[in-house]
Structure 1
């Protein structure tokens, strides 16, 4: 009887420990800035070469996804792979230093922005599963990731997309879309996927990584959608000096 009581007391802690050990995964789709292949206001040539991840505005530059997360005290780089596919110039796997959270960032060749957009939307619908092993741990990305994000130019301003966007998951995925006027242009597609827009935009914006990281910080802490959106707005205002009211108007949550 004494052993049974001890087991019943310990069991919840064992279950909690097991749950805590399950990795949380984030998959970020970055369409590299590309002066030649995207309908953008041209940036300096070094920043706007969509085939050069190292110097690209949205990847290797100071506020690019790879550079910003690499310099962060909260994340560490586990692996870097050059040209993992014909579409992706570079892939980086990060591990959060204090939680069991992994982030996979894919830098898409800028001329393939349309396919990057399709892959992002299909993943929101629960498609394109991707498994990566790290330190004998199998990590699930693509359509099996817990959080998805898109960073870059809003190509839907110039083209339409077709794909398997009908949501299949029983659980709603969280998603972040840092691109100009993304709520207007992504809304119809995203509704098909049944994803939950944590943060997206109502106007023109600089899709730099401080907004993404601040949003992810709140998501890791299981904050509410409104709290996460507030983190994004505060970060955007801090770096862009646009006024917090303007940042809150720009960065919104939900449909």
Structure 2
């Protein structure tokens, strides 16, 4: 328990001061795809090794978080830290000057997805960021994660959860943590980081929940070669 207290402390410290302070702060938790330990449909071995962030489907591959944000003209990498903990293989800090936003992203080992989800929920509980996001396999399908219930006086915070059927699986956790979901999913889906990139852009521009959902739908439709209408059905109608 002491070890995880230290890990959570590092995660929250990386995210920064309370969400009410400028700049806007976002924290992204990425659980690397892992054929060996997660209940996922197997992917090619090179991108399904949860101990290899460099090539992983959700991080270093062409549509993984690191690659998508490296190609973005809006986000500038300010700091990269390899292996900050035993469970985290890569931690990166980005800056979006136009939107006055700092983003911390972490690549968690696939076998540590449970701890990654615990850290995600703890970040929401402690209100260190304006928005907290999760990308990866829906680990709640494999193992439950307990959360504490916050009082009604908790300040507002938002969440984006990109994994299969996150809307129903994460709903009670978000309710307990008094968190507003701004993008969740209703179907089995591919959580490419291009969805987060486009949804974040609308969220940072103070777009509506409908605008955030449709931005995600357009990005998903373009990637999957399906209609925007079909892609919109992948995401929860939260508005």
> Could you say which TM-score interval applies, normalised by the shorter chain?
0.7 to 0.9
Greater Rg by CA: 1
- Give 3-state SS (helix, strand or coil) of 1:187's partner: helix
> What secondary structure, in the 3-state scheme, does the structure 1 residue paired with 2:226 have?
coil
Is the Cα contact below 8 Å between 1:77 and 1:93 reproduced in 2? yes
Counterparts of 1:29-178 in structure 2, within 5 Å, are: 29-125=29-125, 127=126, 143-164=127-148, 166=150, 170-178=154-162
Cα distance change of structure 1 residues 201 and 39 upon mapping to structure 2, 3 Å threshold: same
The equivalent residue for 1:239 is 223
Aligned length, in residue pairs: 219
Compute the TM-score of the two structures, normalised by the length of structure 1.
0.82
Equivalent residue number for residue 207 of structure 2: 223
Residue in 2 that maps onto 1:9: none
C-alpha RMSD of the superposition? 1.6
Look up the SS of the partner of 2:53 in the other structure: coil
Q: Secondary structure of 1:57's partner?
A: coil
Give the distance between the partners of 1:211 and 1:144, measured in 2 at CA. Answer: 23
Which whole-Å CA distance do the structure 1 matches of 2:124 and 2:150 have between them? 9
CA deviation digits over 1:129-163, x for unaligned, max 9?
Answer: xxxxxxxxxxxxxx311111000000111111124
> What TM-score, normalized to structure 2?
0.87
Give the structure with the higher percent strand.
1
Pair 1:188-2:172 in alignment: yes
Question: Partner of 1:24 in structure 2?
Answer: 24
Gaps of 5+ in 2: 1-20
**Conserved in 2, the CA contact under 8 Å of 1:29 and 1:151?**
yes
Query: For structure 1, which runs of at least 5 residues remain unmatched after alignment?
Result: 1-20, 128-142
Q: Distance in 1 between matches of 2:226 and 2:114?
A: 30
Partner of 1:139: none
Tell me how far apart the structure 1 counterparts of residues 40 and 145 of structure 2 sit (CA, whole Å): 19
Deviations, residues 75-119 of structure 1 (Å, cap 9, x unaligned): 111110011122211100011142311110010110000111111
- The answer on whether the counterparts of 2:147 and 2:173 sit within 8 Å (CA) in structure 1 is no
Per-residue deviation at 1:253?
4.3
CA distance 1:99–1:113, change in 2 (3 Å): same
